[in-house]
Each structure stands twice: as structure tokens, then as C-alpha cells.
Amino acid sequence: MSDTMQPVSISPRPAPARSSRPSIDAAAARQAIRAAEVALLDERRQLTAEELDVLAHVPDESVPSLAALAHEVRLGSCGPEVEVEGILSVKTGGCPEDCHFCSQSASFDTPVKATPFLDTDEVLAAARETAELGASEFCIVLAIKGPDERTMDRIMELVPIIREDTGLNLAVSAGILTDDQARRMAEGGVHRYNHNLETARSHFSKVVTTHSWEDRQHTCELVRQNGMELCCGVLLGMGESVDQRLELLSELRAVEPTEVPINFLNPRPGTPLADAPVVGALEAIRWIAMFRLALPTVILRYAGGREITLRELQALGMTSGINALIVGNYLTTLGRTPTEDLQMLEDLHMPIGVLSKVI
Amino acid sequence: MSDVSNSAGSTDSTGSTGSALHCTSCGRPSSECAGCGRELDPPRFCATCGTRLAVRVSPAGYIGRCKHHGEVARS
């Protein structure tokens, strides 16, 4: 591009992640993408850390080729179906943890007011809304460090009620678990447990100080050991570098998730990350593709922040490796309308389906 | 997003207010804030009294309740 024809910049402060080395050139990018195609589609092997490192450094003009390969890998590994999920914050705010991105932490003065555990009827109403939208999964989320006995009882009371009433698979996100709690959840019918790594181990202490990355990793292990599917997500855009995103990919592989929700930071007023720059749209597409290429068989879910980061390019994410989405609103913020998402899937000829990790 | 009705007039989810006395995003008097809300945030403060709302967000909507004025926002 000539120096007189720069792209117009009208979005709020998008900022690329820092990298320890420059982009490779277009010829090297074509070669790296072709090599990745052979590895993933012909040899059916995982890409190495070195191969992923090269792919993370293709120039912007090669991102569509990277995305096209990721889409092909997704179709080959998981099929065309898209899993749709609804989520609900059943206990909002007042969280003792200090996750710097979160408006529900009691450590920060945010507009979100703490509210107690919702009544069963309120939870059931939201689950029915979710089922009516064509979803197969419903996740109840609690802003807590981990469940106490009373909270465990409430969760275990809700799970069969919702499942029997709506037919939805139930997922739970209730923080750090003990082995006994993980066992009880599995026995009680919790299909999938969400516990995000959020960011790379080397970056975690810059984002959370009240618990460790290892605490999170341990709960992830307990979830799998007790027979639940592990949903282990990430939040991109918290100041992590390209190297740290690659580190995170490696760490995710190690915890063997069934599902990986990709969130992009939506800076929340009152939090330490309130003024952080958002992830740019093309960078988001690059990293969606990178996650698919690193984790070919996982359920890769569009989650929070996509409306802010991708705006009109959300359909492009669906052809860059995504095969699941959260429909409608999030925990404390709003999403675009379910009709828009369902129309997008119809336009892309992507049927709604129930997915599990391909082993 | 859908309109929200309240006793002081109407507001949308961006926090812009019609005849509201308070910004529904930050709670400050309308004379000090003309609406600082972001597009995808539900109302967080009562447009009438500026009190922080208890907001329940669900997949297809939201409800905001004020301890003084009851339900003041719904979508």
C-alpha cells in the first residue's frame, strides 16, 4: 500500500498485540500456510509450537488465507454444525476476586449492582428463552470464588429442574472447585463445566491477584477427571503479547478442553482495564483462525466482545474456525439480537447442532 | 436494542435519555451527563432518582429494578 492510501481509522483505539519479532513476508506466509494445510488435512497431525509461531506472524494480507484454512480444518474435524448456547448470571456481582476485566468484582466501583441467587422461576424462564432460540446448551454462571455448601445445594437443585423442563444440556460456571464438588456436579447431571484460563500463565498475575493460574488449571483437571466436559475459555485484549497468546494455546492444549469460548475484551467502566484498547477486527480474525489451527477438534465458541471487536465482520469469524456461539445477551452486557445471529447461520448454510469434541 | 420505559420518560439501552432526570448509565443528573452509555449496556441507574438498579440480564432481554420505583427498565 502506498503512503498516500492508508486505511481510514474510525474505530476506537484498536491496538495490535506486541510481538517479539516482525511479520514474515508474503511468500514465506504462503509457504507456511501450505505446510500447515498438509500437516492438518493430509497428515492429520497437530501443528508444532514452531509452526504456530510462524503462522502467528503472517502479514495482514495473508490473514484471509489463514482463515480459509482454519475454516476447512473446522469443517473436516467438526462438520458444518454450529452449537448454540445461552448463558445466565444467576448470582451477579459482589465477587471477592479481582479479575481486572470484570465488572462483577467487589474490588472495583462499577455500575453493576450485586444481586443474590435468582429464584428458580427466574432461572427457568431464562432457560426456556434459550431453548426457544434453538440452543442446545444453557450455562448458569455465578460470580464467586467457588461454591459454598449452600450454593452447591442450590446448583444441584436447579440442574435437574432445568434439564427436565427444557431438555437443554446444563453447563455451570461457579469458580474454583474441590474434587468432591466436581464429583457431585458430574453425578448431578452437569454436562459441561466452564472454567477459563483467560490468559497465559506468564500474564495471569497482571490480570488477577486473588488466585493463581495454577488454581484455575487444577479445577480444569478436576472437571475432566470427574467426567464432565471442560469448557475452558480465553479473553484476548488484556495487554498480552503475541508470544503469550502462543503460550496460552500451548497451555490450552494441555488441559484438553471440549470447548474453548473466545472472548474479546469489552472494557468495562470502573475496572482497571476500562481504558484498554480493543482488539482490532482483522487481528481478531487472525486469532480465531490461530485457535482453530492449534485446536482442530474443539468446540470454538464466539463469546463476549465480538460485537465490539468485529462489528460487521462477525460472519467472517464463522468462516475462520468458529463453530459455536453464545446467542443473545451475556452476563451483564447485551449481545446483538438472536435473530441476527440465527439469520447469519442460515445465510452461511450452517445448521444448528449439538457438538462434542471429536476424540 | 428495545426501548425501555420508565416513569421519567423513555430511555434506550445506550443511556440516552428523553425527559429523564438522571443518566441511566452513570446515575449523574441529566444536567451533568447527557448520556454516557455504551451501545450494548443495559440501563444501570434509575432515570428518576439515579439509584443503582438491580439488573437481571437474560439471553433474550433484561429487567432493571429500582428499590424506590420498582421495575423501571425492561427489554
DSSP letter for each residue of A301-349: EE-TTHHHHHGGGHHHHHTTT--EEE-S--SSS--S-HHHHHHHHHHTT
Minimal Cα–Cα distance from B29 to chain A, Å? 15
Task: Report residue A7's pLDDT band, with 50, 70 and 90 as the boundaries.
Answer: low
- Ordered by start, the domain boundaries in chain A are 77-347
The span from the CA of A83 to the CA of A86, in Å, is 10
Minimal Cα–Cα distance from B50 to chain A, Å? 11
Minimal Cα–Cα distance from A162 to chain B, Å? 15
User: Which residues of chain A neighbour B45 with C-beta distances below 8 Å?
Assistant: 111
Q: How many CB pairs under 8 A join A and B?
A: 73
CB B60 within 8 A of CB A129: yes
Taking an 8 Å Cβ-Cβ cutoff, which residues of chain A contact chain B? 86-89, 92, 111-113, 115, 118, 122, 125-126, 129-130, 132-133, 135, 266, 269, 307-308, 327-335, 338
Say if residue A106's pLDDT is above 70.
Answer: yes
Residue A356: predicted pLDDT: 67
State the DSSP H helix or E strand holding residue A14, giving kind and residue range, or none if neither.
Answer: none
pLDDT tens for each residue of A240-273: 999 999 999 999 999 999 999 999 999 999 999 9
Q: Which candidate from B40, B52, B55 shows the least CB-CB separation from A307?
A: B40
Say if residue B2's pLDDT is above 50.
Answer: no
Residue B9: predicted pLDDT: 33
User: Which residues of chain A neighbour B53 with C-beta distances below 8 Å?
Assistant: 113
Residue A11: predicted pLDDT: 59
- Ordered by start, the domain boundaries in chain B are 1-75
Q: Using a pLDDT cut of 70, give the percent of chain A over it.
A: 95
Q: Using a pLDDT cut of 90, give the percent of chain A over it.
A: 92
Q: Which candidate from A87, A111, A125 shows the least CB-CB separation from B44?
A: A111
User: Which residues of chain A neighbour B54 with C-beta distances below 8 Å?
Assistant: 113, 115
Pick from B3, B57, B65, B75 the residue to mutate for testing the A interface (most A CBs within 10 Å): B57
At residue A229, the 3 state secondary structure works out as strand
Q: Which residue has the cell 482463515?
A: A67
Say if residue A116's pLDDT is above 90.
Answer: yes
Residue A355: predicted pLDDT: 80
Domain over A77-347 is classified CATH 3.40.190.10? no
DSSP letter for each residue of A117-176: PPPHHHHHHHHHHHHHTT-SEEEEEE-SSS--HHHHHHHHHHHHHHHHHH-PEEEEE-SS
Residue A310: predicted pLDDT: 96
Residue A5: predicted pLDDT: 61
Q: Which candidate from B27, B52, B59 shows the least CB-CB separation from A130?
A: B59
Task: Report residue A2's pLDDT band, with 50, 70 and 90 as the boundaries.
Answer: very low
Which residue of chain A is at minimal alpha-carbon distance from B50? Answer: A111
CB B60 within 8 A of CB B24: no
The span from the CA of A146 to the CA of B28, in Å, is 35
Say if residue A339's pLDDT is above 60.
Answer: yes
The span from the CA of A14 to the CA of A166, in Å, is 41
- Give B73's contacts (C-beta < 8 A, 6+ positions apart): B4, B5, B6, B11, B24, B42, B43, B53, B55, B62, B63, B64
User: Which residues of chain B neighbour A332 with C-beta distances below 8 Å?
Assistant: 42, 55, 57
pLDDT tens for each residue of B4-56: 333 333 334 434 445 789 999 999 999 999 888 888 999 999 999 999 999 99
pLDDT tens for each residue of A286-300: 999 999 999 999 999
Pick from A84, A87, A333, A337 the residue to mutate for testing the B interface (most B CBs within 10 Å): A333
The span from the CA of B53 to the CA of A99, in Å, is 23
Distances (CA, A) of A312 to A56, A63, A82, A336, B69: 23, 17, 19, 11, 38
The span from the CA of A145 to the CA of B3, in Å, is 35
Residue A244: all three cell numbers together: 503469550
- What is the sign, positive or negative, of the torsion defined by CA atoms of B6, B11, B16, B19? negative
Q: What is the pTM of this model?
A: 0.92
Is the pLDDT higher at A106 or at A11? Answer: A106
ipTM of this complex prediction, to 2 decimal places: 0.89
Minimal Cα–Cα distance from B11 to chain A, Å? 16
Pick from B46, B49, B58, B74 the residue to mutate for testing the A interface (most A CBs within 10 Å): B58
**Mean pLDDT confidence for A161-177:** 97
Task: Report residue A21's pLDDT band, with 50, 70 and 90 as the boundaries.
Answer: confident
- Average pLDDT of chain A? 95
Say if residue A358's pLDDT is above 50.
Answer: no
Minimal Cα–Cα distance from A63 to chain B, Å? 28
pLDDT tens for each residue of A40-57: 999 999 999 999 999 999
Cα A94 → chain centroid = 23
**Mean pLDDT confidence for A18-32:** 94
Residue B13: predicted pLDDT: 41
Residue B14: predicted pLDDT: 39
